[in-house]
Amino acid sequence: MQKKLLGLAVASVLAAPGLALAQSSVEVYGTVNMSVNRFKFEPASGPSVSKLDVANHASNYGLRGRESLGGGLTAWFQIEQNAPLERSNNVAITPASRNSAVGIQGGFGNVFIGQWTTPWADLDALWSVGTAGGWGPVTSIIGRRETTGTAPNPNCQNGHLSGAPAIGGAVICDAVEAAGGVGHPFWRRVSQSIFYQSPVFGGAQVKFAYQTNESKATQGATVTEVDPSLMSVSLAWTGMGGRARVGVAYDRHEDFSLPGEVDTGFAIKGGYNLGVVNLGAAFETMTYNLTAGVECDAEQIGLAVSFPVGAGSIKASYATADALDGPGCTAGANAGKAKTYNIGYEHRFSKRTSVAFGYAEVDNDAGAGFTWTGVPPNAGGASAGGPGAGGDVNTIFANITHRF
């Protein structure tokens, strides 16, 4: 009740003067997820550097509400933004920067529009039981990092295109490409998008997302049409009282890497809770088209485990990314082989508050520069935080998470 009253108060303040609040319920919610870390960067060449850091793990807050429309229909909304608690001096709080949308739900399922994680990204909830304190394979090796926003814009400089920057100058639209990387992330929170989630039938549910081609344009002196869009679909099943879960996803990204070409991906992820141990596993494969007629194949696997211990659990994960396979696919960051692993203990004081501590590491072979989101400036002081091609990074961490 207090959360609803607070939500009503906040929503009334945000509403334009003279407008009546029509929501039947509005709730303020959020997550504060922070850790203290001792990081060690080990570049491929040069001395290693150790440093302390306070890290933020997707802390967020938002408003959400629902209204019954009658006839079995419900209207709903969610507006969620980032809370960069340790970087307030140079990272802006951007409204609706996270999952934010408005939709209609009924017996047909759930239809909504806005910005949300793709069905591909949602599958990680089925298997990533081994993540402790925010340090794990998801959004590092699994998914090949992460990104939020629209499809790559043809008016941006695309790291996979040779020659001069496209119309609009040297603006980088993708973090991996900006770092000289090969292949864009498949873990995505897509904007300008339409979503559908089916009802759950026998534990099975279909999810679909389409990122519109609002960036469609012509490019260059030859007036090449660039028509970027994304389609993501998944089928997930949970059964046996929630112990068994499995899902498959397929993504199709048009004109992301090269105009006229399509990047595709397939993933299968899931797990099983035996009671004495909870297991998870993931497999992903992507095909990037970096130049006409040349395909680069990426493959990642992940394993996760969680052992309950009293009011907490011991958690561990391991994941690998193979080197990109294909002619002309060995140059650039994240083209080489990498692995990551973590182990830690998480203790739940309540449903809302938990603490965790442990160790995590990313090892990169030559040509790979994977890391986790949210690491501090690297050994050379670069704010991007990556260890650099062939470099490694590890952390000892203590974490606290509170949900409200």
Burial readout 148-173 (b: 16 or more C-beta within 10 A, e: otherwise): bbbbbbbbbbbbbbeeeebeeeeeeb
- Angstrom CA distances, 197 to 130, 235, 265, 277, 341, stand at 27, 10, 20, 30, 33
Query: Is the per-residue pLDDT at 169 higher than 50?
Result: no
Among 78-82, 296-300, 384-388, where is mean pLDDT lowest? 384-388
Any idea what the CATH number is for the domain that residue 210 is in? Answer: 2.40.160.10
For 75-128, write each residue's pLDDT tens digit: 999 999 998 888 655 566 788 999 999 999 999 999 999 999 999 999 999 999
> What predicted TM-score, i.e. pTM, was given to this entire model?
0.87
Mean pLDDT over 396-400 rounds to: 97
What percent of the chain is predicted at pLDDT more than 90? Answer: 59
Rounded-to-integer distance, Cα 314 and Cα 131, Å: 10
CB 236 within 8 A of CB 250: no
Taking only the tens place, the pLDDT of each residue in 173-215 is: 555 555 555 678 899 999 999 999 999 999 999 999 999 998 8
Task: Indicate the number of domains in the chain.
Answer: 1
In Å, how far are 163, 384, 386 from 332, measured between CA atoms?
Answer: 16, 16, 14
Q: Which residue has the higher pLDDT, 292 or 70?
A: 70
Beta carbons within 10 angstroms of residue 185's beta carbon: 20
What residues have CB less than 8 Å from 26, skipping those under 6 apart?
Answer: 4, 7, 8, 10, 11, 63, 64, 65
What is the rounded CA–CA span in Å between residue 265 and residue 281? 17
Range of the domain at 278: 2-403
**At residue 327, does pLDDT exceed 80?**
no
- What Cα–Cα distance (Å) separates residue 145 from each residue in 71, 77, 176, 186, 371? 42, 28, 8, 8, 8
Contact 306, 315 (CB under 8 A): yes
